Amino acid sequence: MFASRDHLDGRAGRVEVAFTDRHGGVSPSPYDSLDLGGARADRRDVGENFALLARELRVTGLVTMRQRHGNVVAFIGDDAADDVVPGAGPECDALVTDRPDTALCVRAGDCVPIALADAHQGVVAVAHAGRRGVVAGIIDATVTAMRGHGATSVTAWVGPHICAGCYEVPAALRSEVAVVAPAAFGCTTRGTPAVDIGAAVVAQLQAAGAQVVDRALCTLESPDLFSYRRDAARSGRTAGIVVLRRSGDG
């Protein structure tokens, strides 16, 4: 069920971070088995997968978003629903909250899922960053929004995504992204033009003052992960999740 799990303790409590793999769910082939895809949220198996994940994380539900490859950040306050329907939520590419026991969820096929936290001030976030999000500035927008809600020291976990060695693009597109994010200039294992979205995200996080924890695996290369570039419409989606537990919570 999980490609990785981490935690970070601070004055505000414990932050828990997880990135899922494709195992441990109920989805049939070709989405077997832990498909968390928003585009298929009306499928019963996707809802069951979210329920399984929520139970494993000890939360009532997961706050999702309708991701748009942009730079819009939404704040989840005390009036938000505890049990969010998969595929619902605001149209944005990042979520921020200071509410305890609220699981923020970002989904991805090949883009970069990011979990962020300040465990001392009690502010957490998730963000979705592909090449368009990198160009649009979703990283800086997310960190800025966290600071607007009190964060001072941000740690960011970078989850599984397609690597530069596999992410071939036209040379003109590589140049277009690299103008905004120079670290995105990459080459595939064959020497053809590529976008290194992982390197771009790390560089932008560091420029925004965040400490980076790398939990990256290549989605295309790993059979344990979904990849849209590899499987197209037959690909499911994995997720990155962050939860803040207040001091004394179980």
Pick the CATH number of 2-245 from 1.10.10.60, 3.40.1080.10, 3.60.140.10, 3.40.640.10: 3.60.140.10
Q: What is the pLDDT of residue 249?
A: 58
Antiparallel, parallel or unpaired: β 238-246 and 103-108: antiparallel
Concatenated DSSP letters of 57-70: HT-S-EE--B--SS
Q: What's the burial of 189, exposed, middle or buried (CB within 10 Å: 0-12/13-18/19+)?
A: exposed
Report the distance separating Cα 162 and Cα 64, nearest Å: 22
The residue with greater pLDDT, 87 or 171, is: 171
Is pLDDT of 86 > 90? no
Q: What is the pLDDT of residue 43?
A: 80
45 alpha-carbon distance from chain centroid = 21
pLDDT tier for residue 81 given thresholds of 50, 70 and 90: low
3-state helix, strand, coil in the chain (%, to 5): 25, 30, 45
Q: Which pTM value belongs to this model?
A: 0.96
Residues of the chain with pLDDT > 90, as a percent, come to: 88
pLDDT tier for residue 89 given thresholds of 50, 70 and 90: confident
Nearest to 122 by CA among 101, 146, 98: 98
Q: What is the pLDDT of residue 111?
A: 98
pLDDT tier for residue 85 given thresholds of 50, 70 and 90: low
Which tokens hold the place of 58? 């000890």
Antiparallel, parallel or unpaired: β 193-195 and 211-214: unpaired
Residue with tokens 């596999």: 166
- For residue range 110-169, what is the model confidence (pLDDT) as tens digits? 999 999 999 999 999 999 999 999 999 999 999 999 999 999 999 999 999 999 999 999
- For residue range 3-29, what is the model confidence (pLDDT) as tens digits? 999 999 999 999 999 999 999 999 999
Q: What is the pLDDT of residue 72?
A: 98
- For residue range 31-79, what is the model confidence (pLDDT) as tens digits? 999 999 965 556 889 999 999 999 999 998 899 999 999 999 999 998 7
Through-space distance between the first and last CA atoms of the chain, rounded to whole angstroms = 21
Residues of the chain with pLDDT > 70, as a percent, come to: 93
- For residue range 214-237, what is the model confidence (pLDDT) as tens digits? 999 999 999 999 999 999 999 999
Nearest to 118 by CA among 14, 29, 249, 188: 14
Angle between helices 197-207 and 138-148 (to 10 degrees): 30
Which tokens hold the place of 127? 């963000």
Residue type, 143: V
